[in-house]
Amino acid sequence: RPTKRIVCLGEILIDFVPEENGRPLSQVPAFQRAAGGAPANVAAAVARLGGSSRFIGKIGRDPFGRYLHGTLEDAGVEAALVETDAARTGLAFVSLRENGERDFLFYRGPAADMLLEPAELHAAWLDDAAVYHFGSVSLIADPCRAATLEAARRVKAAGGLISYDPNLRPALWPDEETMRRVVLEHIGLADVVKVSEEEAAFLAGKEPPEAVQYLLGLGAKALVVTLGENGCCVLTRTAMTSIPGVRVKAVDTTGAGDSFVGAMLLKLVEHGITAESIESALTDEDTVRDIFSFANKAGAFTTTRRGAIPALPTLAEIEMLSVR
């Protein structure tokens, strides 16, 4: 596959982010509007760093949908958006703790992004995908769940690399057991899976490092465990490499994981890594360091500004960050 296109599909919404940290949601005096949604953030992260990305998703035919469309295009993402009258564009209200951790309140009616249908996937949106990235809430219910998996199957059959970030948000699922079962099913579909330490432990029902071995046994070829300010750990069945984090003053961690994933996927493509070669490529320590110190910097930078897409770095901004 000569293409370098990174295709993301699923959640897209507007986060309303507080202008100051440390207040509960009901006491936030003013919000700023920030485009988000995990896979939309990843597509924007790739484009902001100079890569080629497309986002596939559904928006309401309303001002918020138009704002999201414009935001993707301004970021340099090819926006493959379906507009609907059947639902409104997704919204989330966010409150931030002093350390930048966030709490959410979602408008979910369901929102338009959850109504993407398999029949709405144009072949041309998937044909040139070197990488397909999916995850988060688009797997909660049909029709978006069916569309998410259909796209994964098509890109996989054509030899593309499949990337998955479960991005667990238990509050949005019917119950934790359903969430765990569904997410475990999808880990086997992917070549590379990114999880946080807490997600790994929850999904496996075991403590690290047993959790990691269990998850790799499900079929993914590489597992990337993000560790917040401590960076990340990259695992295959035969290798494990820890890459230390970058010290920054975090104000809002929204989008850090997505920024990290976008940077990681861009580097994987630049290294020419495919579904077939990823396992052996990630046993080489120099390759892992090159890819994941870059991803750590992208994640760290994103915590220094509010919101997700507005906080994504350019290449020049990443180069200005120094490693601990």
Kindly report the number of other CB atoms within 10 A of residue 171's CB atom.
10
* Nearest distance from C-beta of residue 24 to ligand ADP, angstroms: 21
**Nearer residue to ligand ADP within complex by CB, 87 or 224:** 224
* Nearest distance from C-beta of residue 138 to ligand ADP, angstroms: 16
Residues 6+ apart with CB under 8 A from 16: 31, 32, 33, 34, 91, 92, 93, 94
Kindly report the number of other CB atoms within 10 A of residue 74's CB atom.
12
* Nearest distance from C-beta of residue 301 to ligand ADP, angstroms: 8
* Nearest distance from C-beta of residue 209 to ligand ADP, angstroms: 17
**Nearer residue to ligand ADP within complex by CB, 53 or 296:** 296
**Nearer residue to ligand ADP within complex by CB, 189 or 248:** 248
3-state helix, strand, coil in the chain (%, to 5): 40, 25, 35
Per the listing, tokens 């144009």 go with: 122
Q: Six-digit token pair at 217?
A: 């046994």
* Nearest distance from C-beta of residue 97 to ligand ADP, angstroms: 12
**Nearer residue to ligand ADP within complex by CB, 158 or 323:** 323
Greatest extent of the chain over all pairs of C-alpha atoms, in Å: 52
- Could you give the CA distance from residue 309 to residue 70 in angstroms, rounded to a whole number? 12
**Nearer residue to ligand ADP within complex by CB, 201 or 248:** 248
Q: At 48, is the secondary structure helix, strand, or coil? A: helix
* Nearest distance from C-beta of residue 194 to ligand ADP, angstroms: 7
- Could you give the CA distance from residue 7 to residue 5 in angstroms, rounded to a whole number? 6
- Contacts of 27-32 spanning 24+ positions with Cβ under 8 A: 28/93, 28/95, 31/93, 31/94, 32/306, 32/307
**Nearer residue to ligand ADP within complex by CB, 9 or 308:** 308
* Nearest distance from C-beta of residue 204 to ligand ADP, angstroms: 17
* Nearest distance from C-beta of residue 199 to ligand ADP, angstroms: 8
| CA proximity to 298, closest of 86, 57, 73, 44 | 44
**Nearer residue to ligand ADP within complex by CB, 38 or 147:** 38
* Nearest distance from C-beta of residue 180 to ligand ADP, angstroms: 18
**Nearer residue to ligand ADP within complex by CB, 84 or 296:** 296
Element at 56 (helix H, strand E): strand 53-60
Interface contacts to ligand ADP, rule CB under 6 A: 196, 226-229, 231-232, 245-246, 248, 250, 253, 256-257, 260, 296, 299-300, 303
**Nearer residue to ligand ADP within complex by CB, 88 or 194:** 194
Report DSSP letters for 61-99, one per residue. Answer: SSHHHHHHHHHHHHHT-EEEEEEESSSPPEEEEEEE-TT
Q: List phi, psi (to 5°) of 284.
A: -90, 115
178 touches 139 (CB < 8 A): no
